[in-house]
Homo-oligomer: A and B are copies of this chain.
Amino acid sequence: MLNERLIFVTNDDGYQSKGFRAMVNLAREFGRVVAIAPERVQSGMSQAITITQPLFLRSVERGDDYEIYAFSGTPVDCSKVAFDHVFLGRKVDLVLSGINHGSNAAVNVMYSGTMGAAIEGSFYNIPAIGLSLDDHDADADFEGAVMYGRKIVTAVLDAADRLPRPLCLNVNVPRCKAEEIQGIRLSRQTRGFWREEFYERTDPHGRGYFWLTGAFQNAEPDAEDTDEWALAHRYVSVVPVQTDMTDYKQLKALDGVL
């Protein structure tokens, strides 16, 4: 097709996850799809990159309008090999990462491999959307995520030329039936942090081990402009993401101290 769109799809749950398949099928409604996802589950891999090991790229499946590859690296490695190797010289219209099994609202944006890959995609000046469902179940129901994902992709593609770059959206969908979703809310990242409780046990060889588990501490549960508030009230939250980590207020406070 003339002027057919080219869409890059990736995720952090690996190429075999149900959410990834849902995203590939959603993307195919909008153009030709090249999907490169991790070989194995890479949840919580953040913006991690693989420096000290070789990486292997493997063709998994292809059809008339899509190609799926598995890559042995992190989600960000997937974005990097896509843009700095596979797509070299080709115009890409959109990056879609997910659909993630689990919310990436609030500070989760920093730990999320899904959002790591989306952010990396936006560095190449391509609009990027990370899409996550607030449900960790391997067999989660993605109907609402697909329905609202479709609305958001349509709106972003329509407006892409007049929106500033980089453009990277962290989209989170509540866990409920599609028809129970209240709509879309532009939000900001909720303040708050995870406090962990290390599950501590002994392995069959007598060695003690730890297993990470914890709970998110919301520092502003009543703030209606936050992504956690939106999710708790069955809205789809959309937080645009930027990557200047400079703390400008602290910069002023430090003047004279250093």
Taken together as a complex, chains A and B put the C-alpha atoms of A52 and B13 apart, in Å, by: 12
With most chain B CB atoms within 10 A of its CB, the pick from A191, A243, A249 is: A243
What 1/0 flags go to A145-177 for Cβ under 8 Å of B?
000000010011011000110011010000000
Minimum CB–CB distance for A23 against chain B, Å:
19
User: Chain B interface: which of A2-10, A26-34, A92-100, A205-213?
Assistant: A205-213
Q: Are B254 and A186 in contact (CB under 8 A)?
A: yes
Q: How many copies does the complex hold?
A: 2
Q: Are A46 and B46 in contact (CB under 8 A)?
A: yes
A111 / chain B contacts, CB cutoff of 8 Å: 47-49, 76
Minimum CB–CB distance for A216 against chain B, Å:
12
A and B contact pairs by CB, cutoff 8 A, 10 listed? A48-B113, A54-B210, A55-B210, A56-B210, A84-B197, A163-B257, A170-B245, A188-B248, A239-B245, A239-B251
Interface size range on A against B: 35 or more
Contacts beyond the supplied A41-B52, A57-B210, A184-B258: 7 A-B pairs with Cβ under 8 Å: A84-B196, A110-B243, A163-B257, A186-B251, A239-B245, A240-B246, A242-B250
Q: Are B258 and A152 in contact (CB under 8 A)?
A: yes
Q: Tell me if A144 is interfacial: C-beta within 8 Å of chain B.
A: no
Q: Are A251 and B81 CB-contacts (below 8 A) given A211-B55, A212-B50, A212-B51?
A: no
A49 / chain B contacts, CB cutoff of 8 Å: 44, 46, 111, 212
